[in-house]
Amino acid sequence: MDSPRSNNEFGSSHTEGGTYSGNWSYSSNEPVDRFCRSGRDVMLRTSWTILNPGRWFRGCPGDEGQYCSTFQWVDPPMCRRSKEIILGLLNRISEYETQMKRLNARLQTEETRRRKLMNYVLISQIVWLLFVFIAFNI
């Protein structure tokens, strides 16, 4: 799987006990595994846990609940403030999605009400036209 940055965009830097290189590989002086212990190509994934929101890792592509223990972080740990910001943004997105669902439900209700009113208006106009036709043709 391709990384989001090319090798030319970032130089290498050292972090606590590990190396962060320009191609977004991070390890504690360990080589990046290409295959998991069950022999499959490892998958690049994103962690959305509270402790590591948005952090990339490589892991077993196993089926739901059937993963081997292959696991390796791809990028360096985030600072506390970055985690707070990401979690705050995720919470805000969740609130907006909840609000959108409520507004869509309300919109559906209003749309149904509008259709009913339009039907009543149409029926009223037809009845009125029939009344006028009958009243003036008799």
Write out pLDDT tens, residues 5-61: 333 322 223 333 333 333 444 445 555 667 777 777 888 888 888 888 888 988 887
How many residues are given for the chain? Answer: 138
CA angle 52, 57, 59 (to 5 degrees): 125
63 shares its domain with 2:
yes
Q: Are residues 93 and 51 in the same domain?
A: no
Sign for the CA dihedral angle at 109, 112, 113, 114 comes to positive
First to last CA, the chain: 82
Say if residue 24 is in the same domain as residue 90: no
Nearest-CA neighbor of 35 among 8, 61, 73? 61
Regarding whether 98 and 110 lie in a shared domain, the answer is yes
Question: Side chain identity at 59, as an amino acid letter?
Answer: G
Same-domain pairing of 92 and 68: no
pLDDT of residue 27: 46
d(C-alpha 58, C-alpha 62), whole Å:
12
- Whether residue 63 has pLDDT greater than 90: no
Of 62, 77, 92, which one is at a domain's C-terminal end? 77
One domain, residues 66 and 100: no
Rounded Cα distance, 45 and 109, in Å: 40
- Is residue 6 domain-shared with residue 72, that is, in the same domain? yes
The domain in which residue 51 lies consists of 1-77
Q: Say yes or no: 134 and 116 in one domain.
A: yes
* Same domain, residue pair 44 and 91: no
| Tens-place pLDDT, residues 71-122 | 888 888 889 999 999 999 999 999 999 999 999 999 999 999 999 999 999 9
Domain final residue pick, 77, 101, 116: 77
Same domain for 68 and 8: yes
- Nearest to 55, CA basis, from 15, 82, 95: 82
Domain count, the chain: 2
Residue 7 backbone phi and psi in degrees, to 5: -65, -25
